[in-house]
Structure 1
Amino acid sequence: MNEHIEPLRGQRILVVEDDYVVAVALAGLLEVLGASVVGPIGWANEALSFVELGKVPIDAAVLDLDLHGENSYAIAQALASRQVHFVFATGHAADEVDPHYRDRPRCTKPFDERALINALLPRSD
């Protein structure tokens, strides 16, 4: 298939999502779009440890903002410090995101496929 059909081909994308049904659906969508899915991981401490260990390379991540009542900002910081692009996935409004992270891409649930693709495409900056 070509990149128009699989726009995320070759991308290893970490999925951090605590809702099993959403995680499975998101992973399936990402695979259809050509990505290799890493995870999903549903707990903040597990995801943070995974990123910090760095044993599995990842190109981007989709982070649920609220993981079993904990926010994912520490994971976001770990990813940012490793220059890994990430997208917040949330049902929260933009003004509910910590001001430090409001410039980061955010996709609302339920996912709009085109918005998710655009948010995850590799950056040239």
Structure 2
Amino acid sequence: MGAEIDRLLNGKRVLIVEDDYFIADETRRALESAGAIVIGPASSVESALALIDSTTPDGAILDIRLDGELVFPIAERLQETGIPFVFATAHLGINIPERYGGYYLSAKPGALDQISIALFKPRSADH
């Protein structure tokens, strides 16, 4: 991973919401190798909401579908508290409600560099 990505992630608490153990573990290892502190992974909406309440993350990576359950209640909580998040999913045909239009969507399992930039790179005032 590049120096900018390591700088963006170093010391950041990142919540992983993913129901596939292997994808969650791969993401965890990549985040930790870049210096992030991983929260979770959470494999259900209920467990993710509990983690948000008990450990405030700096950002979150959300799989859109968790064993048939949609993660939009998690996105709502994160949005209400001002915590940036990205949707990372293999289900690219899913309709994401318009209110989440400003959030990054990534195909799984990769693109951690793009996800890191979407979560933590400061935005210019004109965006």
What is the TM-score normalised by the length of structure 1?
0.85
List runs of 5+ in structure 1 lacking aligned partners: none
List runs of 5+ in structure 2 lacking aligned partners: none
> Is the CA contact (8 Å cut-off) linking 1:94 and 1:102 kept in structure 2?
no
Shift of 1:94: 6.4
Distance 2:105 2:72 in 1: 13
Shift of 1:122: 4.3
Matched, 1:57 2:37: no
Shift of 1:120: 2.3
Please list every run of at least 4 consecutive aligned residues from structure 1 whose deviation after the TM superposition is greater than 3 angstroms. Answer: 2-5, 122-125
Deviates more, 1:58-67 or 1:88-97: 88-97
- Cα-Cα RMSD: 2.1
- Which residue number in structure 2 is paired with residue 14 of structure 1? 15
> What is the identity, as a one-letter code, of the residue corresponding to 1:6?
D
Distance 1:4 1:99 in 2: 30
- Which residue number in structure 1 is paired with residue 114 of structure 2? 115
- Which residue number in structure 2 is paired with residue 31 of structure 1? 32
Shift of 1:86: 0.5
| 1:121–1:94 distance in 2 versus 1, CA, 3 Å | farther
What is the TM-score normalised by the length of structure 2?
0.84
For residues 73-88 of structure 1, the aligned pairs below 5 Å read 73-88=72-87
Sequence identity (%): 34
Distance 1:118 1:50 in 2: 23
> Is the CA contact (8 Å cut-off) linking 1:16 and 1:40 kept in structure 2?
yes
- Which residue number in structure 2 is paired with residue 102 of structure 1? 101
The count of corresponding residues between Structure 1 and Structure 2 is 122
CA-to-aligned-CA distance 1:53-102 (integer Å, 9 cap, x gap): x2212100001100110110000000111110111111122663222222
